Amino acid sequence: MTANSEEARDVLREVWKGQGQDASTLEEGFRPPKVCKNMVNVGFDAMAGEDGDLRSAWRATLQREGKYNASGQGVRDLVLGQQGSD
């Protein structure tokens, strides 16, 4: 912890003490958040269907939603511009 964060914690302790709260309440606020470790079943594999081709499954989904762009322009082109267009 840096000196500034320690000082801030001390100030909060004094404020909370004045409000009738104790240091355990403060410590709970500074704990890192819990992370869910059960990510085994998270993914897009079921989307691929029988053939197992996830790329074509995404393409079909985008087409169905009217979001597919057949120009061949990718995210890289959108961010950096098309190659050779300098």
In the predicted structure, residue 86 carries a pLDDT above the cut 60? no
7-63: pLDDT as tens digits? 888 887 788 788 877 766 666 767 777 777 777 777 777 788 788 888 888 888 889
Half-sphere exposure of 52 (CA within 13 A, CB side): 0
pLDDT higher at 67 or 72: 67
State the average pLDDT over residues 57-76: 84
Please tell me the distance from the alpha carbon of residue 60 to that of residue 58, in angstroms, as a whole number.
5
pTM: 0.39
In the predicted structure, residue 85 carries a pLDDT above the cut 90? no
- Position 25 scores a pLDDT of 65
